[in-house]
Amino acid sequence: MKGIVLAGGLGTRLYPLTKVTNKHLLPVYNKPMIYYPIQTLVDAGIKDILIVTGGNSAGDFLKLLGNGREFGLSHLSFVYQEGESGIADALSLAEHFCDGDKMVVILGDNIIEKSIKKEVEIFEKQPKGARILLKEVENPERFGVPEIKDGKIVRIIEKPKIPPSKFAVTGIYMYDSQVFDIIRTLKPSERGELEITDVNNKYLEIGQLTYGILEGWWTDAGTFDSLLRANILVAQKIKEEDGAQKR
């Protein structure tokens, strides 16, 4: 199983913080943002990890992360995304790295409370296809939102004005190697990007998309409000863990 962290983009919603650095290098409490998705993959048992980055600060990722020794890794792989062509386009750069293996993909600004090891193990046993993780949120219109009938997802709508459910598709995706063939069939959206929601809907069309509900809290950190929330949640978690160790 391969792990992929998507950490490209210009982070324009966090300007001027991102005027001098990549969004994923900004601090979330006591660590750079990029540390959290990498640790999520490592905690799930994934040791072969690729970082997809871009923009003018790409070299800083190598300077910060090195070979991944801080995470107990023997090496990290890096690839550069040119331009702003969407999440699916960034994922397409990982085809050679994955070399036919299954993969767990996580957006570089997604921060979670608990391990996804159980969900990864479920996907490992899944013969083929994809698995996504959902989380009930207060503002689903910010995300891809699943319409669910009789316990099954019937479609996923990207940033709907009227969400069909209170669930968001989190930025954690699990795919088999078919994903690269699917990406090659995509056409750019109105935003001029290859959308990951279109990838998930393709898997849905062929009956190969499963889902789980993410345990614990989840947040992205791509806006000022969500970055603040991420800092608060991580700080609370660390203080609770420190308190438990002292007792």
Q: What is the pLDDT of residues 2-21, one digit of tens each?
A: 999 999 887 788 999 988 89
Is the full-model pTM beyond 0.85? yes
Place of tokens 């070299």: 59
121-154 burial by CB neighbour count: b if 16+ within 10 A, else e?
A: eebeeeeebbbbbbbebeebeebbbbeeeeeebe
The Cα–Cα gap between 43 and 45 comes to: 5
Tens digits of per-residue pLDDT, 54-101? 888 888 999 999 999 999 998 999 999 987 778 999 999 999 999 999
- Tokens representing 4 are 């992929």
